[in-house]
Amino acid sequence: MQEADLHDLSDDPDYAASQQQALGRSLYRSDSAKSTEMDSGGGGGSETVYVKDNVAIHPTQYASERISGRLLLVKRDSSLFMTWIPYKLSVGGTDSTGRSSNAGILEKDRKLYTIKDVPLADVHSIRRHTPTLGWQYIIVVLSSGLAFPPLYFYNGGVREFLATLKQHVFIVRSADDANVFLANDFQDPLQKSLSSLELPRVVSVANGATLHGSVGALSSVENSERRNGDMQIATSSSEYSGRNKHKLHDPARDISIQVLEKFSLVTKFARETTSHLFRENHNNDSSIHERKQLDHKPSSASTDTQKISSAPVAPDPLEFDKLPLIWGKQRQQPLDVKEWVCFLDAEGRITDSKALRKRIFYGGVEHSIRKEVWKFLLGYHPYDSTYAEREYLASVKKSEYEIIKSQWQSISPAQARRFTKFRERKGLIEKDVVRTDRSISFYDGDDNPNVAVLHDILLTYSFYNFDLGYCQGMSDLLSPIFYVMEDESESFWCFVELMERLGPNFNRDQSGMHSQLFALLKLVELLDTPLHNYFSKTECLNYFFCFRWLLIQFKREFEYEEVMRLWEVLWTHYLSEHLHLYICVAILKRYRQKIMGEEMDFDTLLKFINELSGRIRLGDILRDAEALCVCAGENGDACIPPGTPPSLPLETASLYPQQDQDDI
């Protein structure tokens, strides 16, 4: 039986990966070109001083997949080089787990992650992880601030690796952390202090020269990453204000986004380590640069938690922490019809969309007008459209919807029998719609027609966006939309708009989720350093306990009515398009005393967070989140990697063009 094929059919293709195919190939080409050049240039005197088999990388988007390879230390002309070469597929026998699915993706990853002749002179430090459960791994951090994905030693041997290194290069154990080994510990303090700033900038100060030609395939990734980092520097300078727009229009973004997103995932752990490492050193040195900053802030006496020292408007996290979070403005009454019509001109245009969004941000919308207002908030109706235009749009879109819907409706039973993916998708949707909000009377009972509509919309969406397909969580997102719209076609198109923003949450490689979890980590670090340190100590930095919050925008955390209120506030994108991340921080901050006081471990924390469902006071949290968002300012923006959902769609093209190119 074609196990791999079937397996693959059981879900949807990784469209991001398929998009990267071309890119991957070109990376490979340059890689191999470089390697030959290297080999011939290397000359005779090379000696392998260390070889370890079964050292693997886990590309995070398929944490289940590992790429096993061989790690080598080679001495050439008295310099030491590190190389990690993944095994060829045919040698895959060594991959004892025998996983054969997604071979194509692995093949690409293999090339992408190959580490070729990295001079040890470029290595800043090596962090060793010997977890109590699971495999040992190391993270190699380059002087540039770039780090390689963790290398897992499936056959052990980390100690031997470090011992060998010690014989050939100057490494010292970090005074702060016995698991950190610093190589070439004589960098200039300026670079160090720069490096200790926010991570995007860590990458941006990368010294390209040292990496050129040495990292093979990775160097192109690294370039695109750096390009992005530069952009971030620009954005953090004071002249800058419209950060998001800038971000979206950056031409480099188009080219680099896929690689960047992918790579930033892979290096998620590595990045954490990077920032951690740099910070440690930084604090140790108490560089002049930082001291000066500290002098300006008499309140930040305990220096170890103070790190955002360079930004002129940097809030002091400690100080902030002491203040009760009451800065958010008083919530207002929801926008009602009378007020709503005042926003419309004679022909139905919304003249001041910003004022409208602000109004909704502070009070939400009365239920009776949600049907109308949500269409604007979601971007389905342009703010400057007229009544007539919207009416026309509705009719056009209705027939468009019917056409897409008919695509699956016309699949005969005989055809379906030969269409595994369709059957499975349909089956998954059928199972999920009957598990969606059945406690709401709108969806309760047997054979509820509204449940059938959910099914039809979702299946139609999975044809409209065949690459993304259906994923659990989507039914949760659709449910309130249909509840409000009460119209199948209109709900579909509003859902489409929402998925333009949240689609990456459901990417098969989980890239959207990982970038949000990563941003959340950075935000907590910024806004509640003690809590961050606590999570770090308790190995909770993966933030998986917030997964459900983010995946479906707190849908399961609040009462139905509150969910609708929250969503319309989020959709205004008034203060930030990432307010939802500040809401996460706000909730965590509310319970930080309990979390730290009771010394919750990962399991306990997960359980605690899951059980918060239905117990969070939305109004308070919105105000906290507003305060945090304002307080974090540009530093907060800098915590959020570009492309983190929900990113605003561009005016013309989609932000995720790969999802839309071949609508079926």
Ligand X SMILES: Nc1nc2c(ncn2[C@@H]2O[C@H](COP(=O)(O)OP(=O)(O)OP(=O)(O)O)[C@@H](O)[C@H]2O)c(=O)[nH]1
Is the separation of the CB atoms in 103 and 4 below 8 Å?
yes
Give dist(CA 615, CA 657) in Å, integer.
39
Q: Which does 621 bind (CB under 5 to 8 A by kind): another protein, ligand X, none?
A: none
**Full 3-state SS string of 448-516:** CHHHHHHHHHHHHHHHHCCCCCCCCCHHHHHHHHHHHHCCHHHHHHHHHHHHHHHHHHHCCCCHHHHHH
- Helix, strand or coil, per DSSP, at residue 95: coil
User: Does residue 617 touch ligand X according to CB under 6 A?
Assistant: no
Smallest gap from residue 366 Cβ to ligand X (A): 35
- Alpha-helical runs (H) found in 3-86: 3-9, 15-42
Smallest gap from residue 497 Cβ to another protein (A): 22
Quote the Cα angle for 247-250-256, to 5°.
100
What is the token pair recorded at 639?
Answer: 């915590």
Q: How far is CA 24 from CA 17, 30, 108, 109, 207, in A?
A: 9, 10, 6, 8, 24
607-610, long-range: CB < 8 A, 24+ apart: 609/545, 609/546, 609/549, 610/545, 610/548
Q: Which does 436 bind (CB under 5 to 8 A by kind): ligand X, another protein, none?
A: another protein
Smallest gap from residue 249 Cβ to ligand X (A): 40
Residue 350: which residues within 8 A CB-CB, separation 6 or more?
343, 344, 356, 376, 383, 384
Q: Based on CB atoms, which residue is closest to another protein, 123 or 429?
A: 429
Sign of CA dihedral 204, 208, 214, 220: positive
Q: Which does 438 bind (CB under 5 to 8 A by kind): ligand X, another protein, none?
A: another protein
Smallest gap from residue 473 Cβ to ligand X (A): 10
What is the token pair recorded at 552?
Answer: 């479906």
Q: Based on CB atoms, which residue is closest to another protein, 424 or 620?
A: 424
Smallest gap from residue 52 Cβ to another protein (A): 15
Smallest gap from residue 152 Cβ to ligand X (A): 28
Q: Which does 63 bind (CB under 5 to 8 A by kind): another protein, ligand X, none?
A: another protein
Smallest gap from residue 123 Cβ to another protein (A): 24
Sign of CA dihedral 346, 348, 354, 360: positive
Q: Based on CB atoms, which residue is closest to another protein, 215 or 540?
A: 540
Q: Based on CB atoms, which residue is closest to ligand X, 367 or 431?
A: 431
Smallest gap from residue 418 Cβ to another protein (A): 15
Smallest gap from residue 420 Cβ to ligand X (A): 19
Per-residue x/- marks for ligand X, 207-246, CB under 6 A?
A: ----------------------------------------
Q: Which does 97 bind (CB under 5 to 8 A by kind): another protein, ligand X, none?
A: another protein
Cis upstream peptide for 646 (omega within 30°):
yes
Residue 37: which residues within 8 A CB-CB, separation 6 or more?
213
Smallest gap from residue 103 Cβ to another protein (A): 14
Give dist(CA 541, CA 108) in Å, integer.
28
Smallest gap from residue 5 Cβ to ligand X (A): 23
Q: Based on CB atoms, which residue is closest to ligand X, 171 or 429?
A: 429
Instruction: Indicate the helix (H) or strand (E) that contains 633.
Output: helix 618-639
Q: Which does 93 bind (CB under 5 to 8 A by kind): ligand X, another protein, none?
A: none
Q: Which does 603 bind (CB under 5 to 8 A by kind): another protein, ligand X, none?
A: another protein
- Taking CB under 6 A as the criterion, which residues in 469-488 touch ligand X? 472
Q: Based on CB atoms, which residue is closest to another protein, 551 or 581?
A: 551
Listing from the earlier edge strand, what are the strands of the sheet with 136-142?
115-119, 79-86, 67-76, 46-57, 151-153, 136-142, 123-129, 180-183, 171-173
- Helix, strand or coil, per DSSP, at residue 75: strand
Q: Which residue has the tokens 């994905």?
A: 149
User: Does residue 10 touch ligand X according to CB under 6 A?
Assistant: no
Smallest gap from residue 435 Cβ to ligand X (A): 6
Is the separation of the CB atoms in 575 and 629 below 8 Å?
yes
Tell the burial category of 173 from Cβ atoms under 10 Å away from its Cβ (0-12, 13-18, 19+).
middle
Q: Based on CB atoms, which residue is closest to another protein, 476 or 497?
A: 476
Q: Which does 136 bind (CB under 5 to 8 A by kind): ligand X, another protein, none?
A: another protein
How many residues of this chain interact with ligand X, rule: CB under 6 A? 4
- Taking CB under 6 A as the criterion, which residues in 326-345 touch ligand X? none
Q: Nearest 5°: phi and psi at 49?
A: -105, -10
Question: Considering only CA atoms, which of 217, 271, 266, 273 is closest in space to residue 61?
Answer: 266
Is the separation of the CB atoms in 485 and 397 below 8 Å?
no
User: Does residue 435 touch ligand X according to CB under 6 A?
Assistant: yes
Q: Based on CB atoms, which residue is closest to ligand X, 214 or 462?
A: 462
| Residues in contact with another protein by the rule CB under 8 A | 3, 6-7, 10-12, 60-64, 66, 97-99, 101, 130-136, 156, 424, 427-428, 431-432, 434-436, 438-439, 471-473, 475-476, 506, 508-510, 542, 544-545, 547-548, 551-552, 556, 601-603, 606-607, 610
Q: Which does 560 bind (CB under 5 to 8 A by kind): another protein, ligand X, none?
A: none
Q: Which does 135 bind (CB under 5 to 8 A by kind): another protein, ligand X, none?
A: another protein
Residues that bind ligand X (CB under 6 A): 431, 434-435, 472
